Structure 1
Amino acid sequence: MAKISKLFVHDHLMQAVYFAPRGKKRLLFLGMNLQQRYLSPDDHLIGFLGDAGAGKSVLIRGMFPGLELTNDDQGINIRPLPLMDDAERGHFRAHTYHLDVRFESAFTQPWRLAESIKAALSKGRRVVVEHFDLIYPFLGINAEMLVGVGEEVIVTRPTVFGPEPESIADIVFESIKYRRMAHSAEDITSMILEEMGLERPEVHSDIKHGFVLEFPEKPDIDLDIVEQRVLELIDADWPISFSDDEHIRVGEMLYPCTGPRIHIKRTSEIKGFHLLKEFRFDPVERLYTIAGIVGEAEGPNRSLLTL
């Protein structure tokens, strides 16, 4: 009799790619959708890949509501590590465990972490692993579902032919710089628009290597002047830093931000910024858009096919 998981359409998934949205609410919502679309009840090993601050923890919270993360950007949540503690006791009390390999490697040898993961899997438990690429050489088992978080969120269900965790990690670690540049450029552009008398944009959308600001009415502004003012701030080389969960600092200015951890460190790190010199109207949402682009014209190869 065929396994139940074979009845799921997502078993035929090669890869799915989404823009990685800014803001906690949008990431949580995306995580919920990924869980509904691609996660099987039979999945026991789920791997996440991506740089620190990319939003992996928030995405995990959306995919696994109620799962207490052992650590996240707010700090250490649980010690000792429940997975290791239960493995040593030989009694796994939870159904799902969380593990951040990069963080835990500072306290525990990777091979011991791998043995604990294998022990949990042998008992039918689920393990959600951040920085899965770091443990894979010791584990020797690929995840049933891999999620890479960079400029995009890449979802795949590996087979014996791949993809390997490293191939996804290479993509997301390279592309995260575009997401950081775009988010910083977006906030700087919003600051300039407010200086010019517009209200802060409440609606955001995503494009490759860029951002979209949306307005209910067509702004009465000169986009060439907006672009020039943004470029002046970029050239000023102001520092950009995290202030709290809802604000960043650009120079000495405190500014609201829904993704305060996903920024470059200085404005001068924004490369190739320009605005599209037209207001495009969305007839479905009935909104006027301003689009900004950063970085090079071409990004990393997003195909995971190696055969």
Structure 2
Amino acid sequence: MSERKILFGFRVPVEVGAVAEVLRCAALADRARLDLFATSDHPYYGDHLEAYATLGFILGRTTTIAGVTTVTNTPTRSAPLLARTLTSLSALSDGRVVYGVGAGGVWDDITSFGAPRLSPSAAVRAMEESIHLVRALSGGGEPVTFDGEFYKISGITPAPVPAPPVWTGSVGPKSLAVTGRLADGWVPGRASDWLSERYRASRPLIDEAAAAAGRDPSEIATIYYVQGHITDTPRSVTRDDAGRWVGGSVGQWVESLTGAVLEHGASGFILFPPGGASLEGTLRRWAEEIVPAVREAVEKPSGR
């Protein structure tokens, strides 16, 4: 039996035109006792909902579900102000927020929004400073002075609220090393799962950095995006030629996700409904059929 609670969530739509569906699905997920909802952060796209406004609004309309941005677009946000946003959301929601953080990737769009272009290495260093500041400005204590490469603050009082968990969307070696040194969780990029080459090549780098920092690598959760159709009958093939999961029956989903937990150490799954599928219908089957069955199978592995 896994000692870590296995988390189950779903990704809400990000389009302004999907507001009604976002709110219906968030309410459904909250009633079904899913653990979290996720959104993405691309403020330079006018037809997208702003990530932290979305988090705050949904958290205010729900009671138990937590929210995470996978991932926060660090180059477009002031880290000290972001720390205040996160601690405020945490205080208002009784701790139902996770800091999902990335170094930035779509640089033409990022710079069009007014942020300076950073090299890949500099972007990772800025992400690391952001994590340090979010934690330093949480939890109360003495005023904080920080003289970093990208952020400088002087005598700022931390909020009397615990720091949220930190999940990264790290991809490159330097970013993965930051995950190992500092993060509580990792969401593999490009919806890569536990059987992917990306996971096999990347997770050892996280573990090595964690061990070098004196941390237990098992403390860093791996939370996967999973995308695929939920079918009424079993599929003969549940992965495409590239090895990517494409879905199957409820039983096939349960078997695959249970194996990911018990055999590969997965800590959580965020459903990313595929295009063309009914979002509400897919979410309902996920929350009411697949998630409870995986939870039961993980708690009683001898019954597999």
Flag whether TM exceeds 0.5 (same fold): no
Larger Rg: 1
Structure with greater proportional helix content: 2
Structure with greater proportional strand content: 1
Q: How does the TM-score come out when normalised to structure 1? A: 0.31
Q: How does the TM-score come out when normalised to structure 2? A: 0.31
